[in-house]
Amino acid sequence: MNDANAGFPGAFPTVRPRRLRTTPAMRRMVAEHRLHPADLILPAFVREGIDQPVPIGSMPGVVQHSRDSLRKAAAEAAAAGVAGIMLFGVPEEAKKDAVGSPGTDPDGILQQALRDVRAEVGDDLVVMSDLCLDEVVDHGHCGVLDAAGRVDNDATLARYAEMAVVQAEAGAHVLGPSGMMDGQVGYVRRALDAAGHRDVALLAYTAKYASAFYGPFREAVNSSLKGDRKTYQQDPANGREALRELELDLAEGADMVMVKPGLPYLDVLCRVADAVTVPVAAYQISGEYAMVEAAAERGWLDRDRTIDETLTAFKRAGADMILTYWATEVAQRYGRA
């Protein structure tokens, strides 16, 4: 014993939080948040005109699926207990045009993929569909352009409505309007209801930021984008603005809401989660995935621990659901228990 403390038993702390960190079993027992396969949604890309998966160079381990490999990936995700799959269609370049015709073609690649996945897994996975024009237009923006080359908000809403009905008819359980057009949730909701698709849910991309972290996604969808999306996606400097978008989306009928990207916007995610009673999602996007994979490949990070830590951060900030390219892998590791 240190002589300076002799005769003073109260000099040492009696409250010791470390008691609850002593063993793995103790830490597991008192953990405030846990990952579970049912928390996870797998984003997946399906590309027209290929018969084998095509690796995405900037996203090691992620591919552009063929229709056959997508069916297998969906079945694997369902078997692992993953909650859902979010599909992105990549049409042949020659089929892209100014208004995104593949997006409303019943035989467009995304609609074919929706039918394929529903045929493969039925209702064992929640089958979600990206509702946006960026993958199917020749200019790469999320909307229709006007004569001056600006994104025309209201003309875009009309296209989203057409796309929504086609995607619902192809079998989507959930649509994700992701273009950040004003009024998109309400416009799509009315179109779905009028077409008899009242049970198709909407996952609103409520706070989608104009982020540098989307870089690898551009490769994943063969993006034709020139310029940027700063006139419609949110400014990374703004947090309070997300709450305004949230209020509007809820008023327009959003069933679920999302913050995208994830890690750089945990503060926004927390504020959104505190403000709502609907389910909240976070999207761990391509750049977040690529950073971890690149650092792990170089031995700079423990890959599995880093993955788990990032996903737990979303849960701690209030996410009920997490879209992550590691969904199936993590679900297999954690099991259904």
Query: In this structure, are residues 285 and 227 in contact, taking their beta carbons and an 8 Å threshold?
Result: no
Tell me how far apart the alpha carbons of residues 99 and 55 are, in angstroms, rounded to a whole number: 28
Q: Looking up tokens 């002589």, which residue turns up?
A: 3
Tell me how far apart the alpha carbons of residues 330 and 32 are, in angstroms, rounded to a whole number: 19
In DSSP terms, which residues pair with 90 in a beta bridge? 47
Q: Looking up tokens 């019943």, which residue turns up?
A: 106
Query: In this structure, are residues 84 and 126 in contact, taking their beta carbons and an 8 Å threshold?
Result: yes
Is 260 in the active site? yes
DSSP 62: -
Tell me how far apart the alpha carbons of residues 203 and 283 are, in angstroms, rounded to a whole number: 12
Cα–Cα nearest to 171, from 238, 119, 235:
119
Residue of 95, 96, 260, 315 with catalytic role: 260
Instruction: Quote the Cα angle for 37-135-223, to 5°.
Output: 105
Residue of 95, 96, 208, 315 with catalytic role: 208
Is 208 in the active site? yes
Tell me how far apart the alpha carbons of residues 206 and 267 are, in angstroms, rounded to a whole number: 14
Cα dist. 229→140, 210, 233, 249, 263 in Å?
A: 10, 6, 6, 20, 20
Q: What are the structure tokens assigned to 225, written together?
A: 């984008």
Cα dihedral 43, 46, 51, 52 sign = negative
Q: What are the structure tokens assigned to 231, written together?
A: 């006139």
Catalytic positions:
208, 260
